[in-house]
Amino acid sequence: MQLFPCPFCGTRDETEFRFLGEADAPRPVGGAAAPIADWTRYLYFHRNRKGRVAEIWSHAPCGETFRMERDNVTHVVIGSASLRKESAR
């Protein structure tokens, strides 16, 4: 079991979180008009690097989304930060 830090609720069990993707993966150019092959690569083909990674996660109970940097080999969380825009409150 891993413990992840939600920037809103504090440290929680990993089962409360949902992985949303790599934080540094570029989205397809053109948005919804981008070719389906570009969206397929973006959504389903991940680099799966070992070591330090930056990822987007969602905490299911509070519904907030945040960026987390962690080492996926040692399971050490380096940091997490909210993706909430202050004006959206």
Provide the CATH number for the domain around residue 52: 3.30.2270.10
Once rounded to an integer, what is the mean pLDDT over residues 31-55? 90
Picking from 17-21, 23-27, 30-34, which range would have the lowest pLDDT averaged per residue? Answer: 23-27
pTM attached to this predicted model:
0.78
Q: How far is CA 62 from the centre of its chain?
A: 15
Domains contained in the chain, number? 1
Task: Determine the Cα–Cα distance for residues 3 and 72; give it in Å rounded to an integer.
Answer: 13
Share of the chain above pLDDT 90, in %: 66
Once rounded to an integer, what is the mean pLDDT over residues 13-28? 91
Give the domain extent around 50: 3-88
Task: Determine the Cα–Cα distance for residues 84 and 89; give it in Å rounded to an integer.
Answer: 8
Q: What is the mean pLDDT of the chain?
A: 89
